[in-house]
Structures are given as C-alpha cells and as structure tokens.
A and B are shown apart, each in its own frame.
Chain A
Amino acid sequence: MNFYRNMIAIDAFNISAILDLPARKNIYTSVVLIISMFVTTNIFAAAGDSISNTATINYVIGGVPGTGNASASFLEDRLINFSVSEDNGSAAVPVISDMTDAVMQFTVTNTGNGVQDFLLTAVNTAPNPFGLPADNFDPLTIQVFAESGATPGYQAVEDTAVFIDELVPNVPHVVYVVADLPTQVIDDVSVIALIVQIAEGGVVGTEGLVVNADDNGHISPAGVFSNGSTSVSAGTANTIPDSPLTMETVFNDPAGLSPEDVSTDLVQDIARNGQHADAGAYQVMSPVAIVKTVTVIDPLGGTDPYPGATLRYQLDVVVTGNTAVDNLVISDAIPANTTYTDNSILLNAVAQTDADDAPVDYSRAIDILAKPVVSIEVDLSQGGTVSVAPGVTNVIIFEVTID
C-alpha cells in the first residue's frame, strides 16, 4: 500500500476520474481534520507534522503548453529523547548537618522533536558517583521542583511546579532536588538520582499524561512522580505498524551512565524506556569556611620576616550553606617564636579588647594577664545570643612580632 504515492495516471479522456474529483476532495478534507486534531499536542514542533512536497512540470506538446503536478507526503514521527545532568560538576554538593532545603540542581533538555511535559521524581540511590566516601544516609524528605523562570536559583516561593511544562526541543530546563537532612557528621554522603519521565505536552499549565509506551514495544516502569501526587503504572508494550500517515512515537532516550543512575524500578536506567536519570550526592561539610592570610611588615617598611617584623594575620570567616550557625567561636594559636601584639585584635575593622570582658566585646587574648598569650579567640555568636547567618564574611585581624 503506497499511501505516500500520488501517481497521476489520468489522461484527458479519463472522464470518470475527473468527475470523481470533488467527492474525493471532500473526504480528503475531513480526514485531514482528524489528523489535525490528533497532532495538536505538537503544534510547536516537528513531531506529527505532515511533510508534504509537490513537484510541478511544465512542457510543450504540439505547440501547446501543458502542466502537471504530483505530491508526496508523509508524517514526521515523534522522537522521544532527552538528557538529564546534575549540575555540580564532578563533585558532591556541600551541605551541613540538619540543613533544610539542601538544593541539588539538574538540567533537563528535550532532544526529541515534540513539545513535551516531563514528570519528575528523585530517589535515594548508590554508589557515590564521585567515589568515596560511600553513601551512608538518606535525607528526611526529598522534593523536586522545576525552575519557574522568574529568578535564577531555587526560590521556594516561585519554584513550585512539580513537573516541567511544555518543554520545547533543545531548550534546557533547570530542576531542583530539595532535601531536608538529618543530623550527620562531616563527610557523610547521601546519593540522590533525579528520574525524569516523558509525558504528553499540549496543555499549558496542566501536567500531561504519562507516555509510558512507545509504538515499538518499549515501555516505562511504574513510578510515583510530582512529589507523590502522580502515580503511573508501567506501560503496556505495543507495536504499531510504521505508516506514512500516522505519527508513531519512538523512545530513543539513552541508558543511565552508571549503576546509580536508576529508573523508577530502582535498577540502572535502560535505554528506550521513556525515562532518564542522573545522580548527584550531598556531602556533609563544615558549615564554616575560614581563609587565613598573613602580611609581613618589617620595621623598615618592607616585607622581610626577620626578628622584630610584624606578622598581620587575617581570618575571613564565612558560613556556607543556607543554615545559620550558633555558638560560632573562632580561635587561633599564636605561632611559635612569635609574640602577640597587645590590643591588636580587629573584628570587621573594629578594635577589640584583649580582656575577657563580654559584653564590652566578645574577643580575648588567652593568658593576656599571665603572658605569653597562647591564642586569640573571637566569639562571633556573642555568648550564644547571635546566630551567624550564611554568606556574611566576618574579618578577624590580629598581629604578632617575630622573636
């Protein structure tokens, strides 16, 4: 059956064929309408488009011009393909114990030829894609949200969509896995896989129905998506004969790269199942980052570290993550063969006393009375009354002289 052939073999004497024409045109029009309804989900992309081509011929016979034309048309079928990648490069996302809303960012790109919705879920998985330490804890809660497009980065108020809506081909879309973490110790690791499932596009703002089977016998496993609100069953394998006049759906999604890149059946994602995944890891780190620098000031105004020269130490202290830290006390030992310079402590350019005299200030030089001073101490939490917010840099400066 050569549906796609439109051979013209009708000559001027074939009266019956000419007479038939109007009726046939009507039928053709109504069938085209049915096709149009069928492919409305993909009006912004190539899938389902009729690819139509009409050749024309002009010629002269017996001094009289003649023309003819012939068409060939077929439907472009729907390719399902997409990529999922964790965005923190080749390292775990640093988090802190008891963190809320620990964000792991992913990017989903539709590399098929239709506008599609994508269902999202994140699961605990293993092993650690970045090597050691091994996965040893699970978050208390894991949620997944799609970027709204309003403000880059996860915004709890804005980024509330639980699926990716109407993703056109070749436009990346950011997705956030958002987890609340239990009490853990430094270097504990939790490995998470984001699993993305193809779904129908077509209606803006509405979560599309899952596409859990293609037309070549491939199926998706059952799964729970959209932060628990959408349960889908496994697909039923079916095989639709390829036809130039119907849009077949073809799963062409790749397999998960590594054992931790699982599909919703919790085994390594296989190719052509309408799902794709990538894994990342949370790793518990110290919530406080300190950068220490030293400046040498010699008595002649140079920078030579000889006896009598001053060493000015600067500690830049910043709380990482998104959780404020309580009881943050910074202390630093006075190096050997140096002597603390009395009253040299500065906190954010404000002079501090050496005495243990809170609440005048919350800094002190330990053993300032007995001498030598063995260390300095700055209580950024001011006796437990202040939480130190993340992202703010506190600058501590103190000086010693070389003996």
Chain B
Amino acid sequence: MKNIKQNIFKTILISVFTLFTAMNAYAEDGAIRFSNNAFKQVISKAADGTVKYDYVEPGLVLPDDVILYEIVFENISDQEVSNIVVNNPIANNSKYRDSSATGDSTEITFSVDGKNFAAADALTVKDQTGKTWKAKPEDYTAIRWVYKKALKPGEKGKVTYKTTIK
C-alpha cells in the first residue's frame, strides 16, 4: 500500500515538474549565457577490457557515485567581456575529487572556508588542536576559476570538476 501511494505521489510530482521545467531559470545579466549542468559518471567495461566513461542525467544517484559538473559561459553580447571569475561552492553531500577541476586558460584555486582561495598545494586546514595540515580534496568547500583571457563576442568558455556523493 505504501509503495502504491509513493508511486502515485511520484507520478504527480513528475507531472508537476514537467509543467514547470523552466521555473529555476532567472535573469541576471544580458552579456553572458551561463549554465551549470550535473551529470552522473557511468563506467562500463567492454569485452576487450577498454573502459568507457559516459555522463548521463543524474536520475539515479547513490553514495559513491561520481558527478561531473560542467559550467559553460558564453558571450552573447557584441562586446568583449573581461575579468571573468567563476565561483562554485562544493554541493552538499558531495566531496571534491582530487585533480578533477579543469578549465582552459584558467587559474584554478580552492578554498576550505569559502573566503580564502589558494592553489591546491598551498591550502591548509587546522585540526582541533590547532595544528596545521595540508588540506585534502574532501576538505575543499569551493572552487574558483579565473579566466585569463578576454571573451570575445560569440566565444564560449567551459570549466568542469567532479564530486563523489557521500
């Protein structure tokens, strides 16, 4: 009975969301088309031993699944855009995966407090006794990409990183 109820409810929920798929979108500014998409990493191994990575909609997400975030910024204005900085706090229930952050022409820094950013090697945390340790990837709470070039009209930039679900 419980399951039947759940199923009916889920069906309703899906319908509600189908109607308002676009509701999360909101305007900020006109110059940059900015998107943030999450994909679940699916690893499959072929008979010849080759490993294939696919990135699919995060429909079924369980602990230890790997999520790829793909953040794209596109200059949709007719002027050059400069001083581009992308900030992204690590999501709840998620751990940053070591060395997964990418981004062409970017300087990538990390933070353990959301305020102070540094290169991965320079980042430290303090334990309860006040002792300082090199921060581990799972300590990171935010990532910052500083785009080192100007973005011409019509140009796109992309940064990515991966997390593991807790």
Contact = CB atoms under 8 A, between A and B. Distances in A.
Interface in A278-315: none
Contacts of B13: 31, 34-35, 38, 245-246
Q: Interface residue tally of chain A, by bracket?
A: 35 or more
B38 to A, nearest CB: 4
Nearest to A6: B24
Contacts of A76: 61-63, 93, 165
Interface string B55-86: 00111111100010101010011011111111
A4 B9 contact: no
B89 to A, nearest CB: 7
B35 interface: yes
Nearest to A169: B63
Contacts of B32: 57, 59, 66, 68
Interface string B1-44: 01110010110011011101111111111111111111000000
| Chain A CB within 10 A, most for which of B57, B69, B90 | B57
Contact of A27 (B20, B60, B79, B81): B20
A74 interface: yes
A24 B26 CA distance: 10
| Chain B CB within 10 A, most for which of A27, A58, A61, A113 | A61
Contacts of B106: none
B87 interface: yes
Contacts of A46: 63, 93, 165-166
Q: Interface residue tally of chain B, by bracket?
A: 35 or more
| Chain B CB within 10 A, most for which of A18, A72, A212, A235 | A72
B61 A70 contact: no
A200 interface: yes
Interface string A215-252: 00000000000000000000110101111111010101
Interface of B: 2-4, 7, 9-10, 13-14, 16-18, 20-38, 57-63, 67, 69, 71, 73, 76-77, 79-94, 151, 165-166
A46 B79 CA distance: 45
Give me the 9 closest cross-chain CB pairs, A-B, nearest first. A242-B59, A11-B30, A12-B30, A70-B36, A53-B91, A68-B28, A10-B27, A72-B38, A242-B60
A51 B25 contact: no
B38 A66 contact: no
A54 to B, nearest CB: 7
Contact of B35 (A8, A14, A28, A52): A8
A60 B81 contact: yes
